[in-house]
Amino acid sequence: MTTTVPAIGTRTAEGSALQAVLLDMDGTLVDTEGFWWDVECEVFAGLGHTLDDSWRHVVVGGPMTRSGGFLIEATGADITLAELTVLLNQGFEDRIDRALPLMPGAARLLGELAAHEIPTALVSASHRRVIDRVLGILGAQYFALTVAGDEVARTKPHPDPYLFAAAGLGADPARCAVVEDTATGVAAAEAAGCHVVAVPSVAPISPAARRTVVRSLEEVDLAFLRGLLN
């Protein structure tokens, strides 16, 4: 169900309440939220439908079943969800093969977490085949565990992916910091009982209890994440 990477240990630095860091992928570490929307527009254009730009806020950050199902219903396109999933995944993979821009601050943050041996997991609503393609570029060695959207019974906005990741790292969800870019991901992390850093990519996210909103990952480092739990 998961991919484990033994290169990184699972020890927590002494004196810190932070036990693990759980990171979303699309729009958080890699600048790909726009890729998904572009692919969705192209696929539906090929089916004879134009997507309304306002729908982007509905589908962002969601699992394929929710976003694809919504777009099929909204357009009335003659395609099954299974067929659409294949087309969207292939279109996305084609794009990341050409370019995969990292979000500002992502490489530095991953390097810092690795250097301090902070247990780190990648938790995404994307399918395993997409995650593995991205990991080949992003660096699988940075993650002790990865969880894909098609490997859990209920993906985001349900808490299951984050609960599974925390358990896999031997961490208490209440002592985990999650970094997310969408309301869907934030809802999943908060439902799991984690502390959340929101870095909005497409739609605004408001601060709340146990939720800190920043403009960029460049504002986030290990000291910042540890401070969330103090």
pLDDT digits (tens, 9 = 90+) for 82-119: 999 999 989 888 888 888 899 999 999 999 999 999 99
Of 2-11, 49-58, 192-201, which gets the smallest average pLDDT?
2-11
Burial class of residue 50, CB neighbours in 10 A (0-12, 13-18, 19+): exposed
Q: What is the pLDDT of residues 139-183, one digit of tens each?
A: 999 999 999 999 999 999 999 999 999 999 999 999 999 999 999
Instruction: Name 54's Cβ contacts closer than 8 Å, sequence gap at least 6.
Output: none
Whether pLDDT at 198 is above 90? yes
Residue type at position 83: E
Task: Determine how β-strand 20-23 pairs with β-strand 120-123.
Answer: parallel
DSSP per residue, 200-222 = -SSS----BTTEEE-S-GGG--H
Instruction: Name 22's Cβ contacts closer than 8 Å, sequence gap at least 6.
Output: 120, 121, 123, 162, 165, 166, 176, 177, 178, 179, 189, 194
Q: What pLDDT shows up at residue 5?
A: 35
Q: How confident is the model at residue 9 (pLDDT cuts 50, 70, 90)?
A: very low
Q: What is the pLDDT of residues 46-80, one digit of tens each?
A: 999 999 988 887 777 667 788 888 999 999 999 99
Residue 95 or residue 20, greater confidence: 20
Q: Is the peptide bond before 101 cis (omega within 30 degrees of 0)?
A: no
Q: What pLDDT shows up at residue 61?
A: 65
182/202 Cα distance (integer angstroms): 7
Residue type at position 200: P
Q: What pLDDT shows up at residue 3?
A: 40
Q: What pLDDT shows up at residue 149?
A: 93
Which among 182, 208, 187, 185 is positioned nearest to 57, based on CA atoms?
Answer: 182
Q: What pLDDT shows up at residue 2?
A: 42
Q: What pLDDT shows up at residue 8?
A: 35
Chain centroid, CA 71 distance in Å = 21
